[in-house]
Amino acid sequence: MNSNSILSKVALIYGIIITSLMLLIFGTKLIGSIIENGFEELKEIANALIHWHDNPTAFFFIYIIGYAIVWWKSFWGSVIIIAGSLLVFFINIENMGFLIFSISTFVVGLLYVSTWFDLRKRNKT
């Protein structure tokens, strides 16, 4: 992320805000469950990575992985975030909590991929 454009700054700030919320809401819940239930919770996490309906665990991991990749490869991290957000949106369309986070994370991916295109356009001219 080497661009100094306003778009890149908006992507950075919005991405950090949404990622912080994801870590605070889902991350602390996940860590608390692991501390409380131990090995049994690890089995539940493995199961949740397969079954995405009404379980934010897989969505959380996909988003965090995508966001980490954004800092290394903007385009591919954005694609992971956007794909995960769309998948969660359509699997859990009746759950308002999932909809809010899937739309918010989709915007993060969209901002970073837009920044990537903007940077490529600036480098060509």
Q: Indicate whether 53 belongs to any domain.
A: yes
Angstrom distance (rounded) from CA 74 to CA 76: 6
DSSP 27: I
Tell me the average pLDDT across 97-104.
87
Q: Which helix (H) or strand (E) holds 51?
A: none
Q: Which of 4, 7, 5 is nearest to 78 (CA)?
A: 7
> Between residues 30 and 48, which one has the greater pLDDT?
30
Q: Check if the beta carbon of residue 42 is closer than 8 Å to that of residue 34.
A: yes
Query: pLDDT tens digit string along 69-93?
Result: 999 999 999 999 999 999 888 888 7
Q: Indicate whether 74 belongs to any domain.
A: yes
Indicate the average pLDDT of the chain.
86
Q: Indicate whether 19 belongs to any domain.
A: yes
DSSP 23: I
User: For residue 66, what pLDDT is reported?
Assistant: 96
Q: Indicate whether 125 belongs to any domain.
A: no
Q: How many domains does the chain have?
A: 1
Q: Indicate whether 1 belongs to any domain.
A: no
- Tell me the pLDDT band of 125, cut-offs 50, 70 and 90: low
79 lies in which domain range? 6-119
Q: Which residues of 30-46 are buried (b: 16+ CB within 10 A; e: fewer)?
A: beebeeeeeeebeeebe
